[in-house]
Amino acid sequence: KHYPAALVQLGEVYEHLRANAPRFGTPDLGRLAFGGDSAGAQIALQFVLLQTNPALAAAMYWHPQMPKEAIKANVLYCGPYDLAAFANTGSRVLRFFVHQLGWAYFGQRNWMKKPQAQQASVLDHVTTACPPTFLTDGNAFSFEKQGRALYAKLTALGVPAEGLFYGPEAGELHHDYQFSFDKYPQQAEECYQNTLAFLNRYL
């Protein structure tokens, strides 16, 4: 299924939990965190923004499914947050790769020129209503610049945000470094511990 199917499915998960709460130990739906990795980070954040940014919700004809106060935190790993930036990247290989992924996701060959791509560029849609956010990325072959840009914008808006990024002294940390405890044991453990501490603070 094409965009916005993944967002619809996230909403269906919430509705299923709400309708079947006793089966799941009565989860506290007033105290939620959303998160994802890579494209999942973009999807998770866009779903949260649809609950907290009325202008984006209206543009997508979306009816928020939960009170924004129920969303206590975001956890975002290695995500692309500014899709328009890929059109200007100096890497032909990256442009081609992202173009093919976008074509598959949006179902349109010229997806970068469509309104859906602007909707999905979540960097443009974060507001002061965005919940506290933890975000990280590797420093090689990933979306570090976009992660840093999102962190800077959240901070400028006064949203509590924690960013975990690494300089060249850490060596090359590739996309999804945080899962590679064998290859990057120190940094993966640091991300894990920082994520737990962040969730403990806000949940």
User: Full-prediction pTM beyond 0.85?
Assistant: yes
Residue that has been written with the tokens 């840093």 in this structure: 148
* Neighbouring residues of 77: CB distance < 8 A, sequence distance ≥ 6: 35, 36, 37, 38, 41, 135, 136, 137, 176, 178, 191
Q: Which has the minimum average pLDDT: 68-82, 92-106, 127-141?
A: 92-106
As a whole number of angstroms, the distance between CA 199 and CA 134 comes to 9
Name the 3-class secondary structure at 172.
coil
Q: What percent of the chain has pLDDT over 70?
A: 98
- Work out the burial of residue 78: count CB atoms within 10 Å of its CB; fewer than 13 is exposed, 13-18 middle, 19 or more buried: buried
Bridge-based pairing of strands 71-77 and 133-136 is parallel
| Residue range 150-199, pLDDT digits in tens | 999 999 999 999 999 999 999 999 999 999 999 999 999 999 999 999 99
Tokens of 24: 């799941």
- Answer whether residue 42 shows pLDDT above 70: yes
94 falls in which pLDDT band (50, 70, 90)? confident
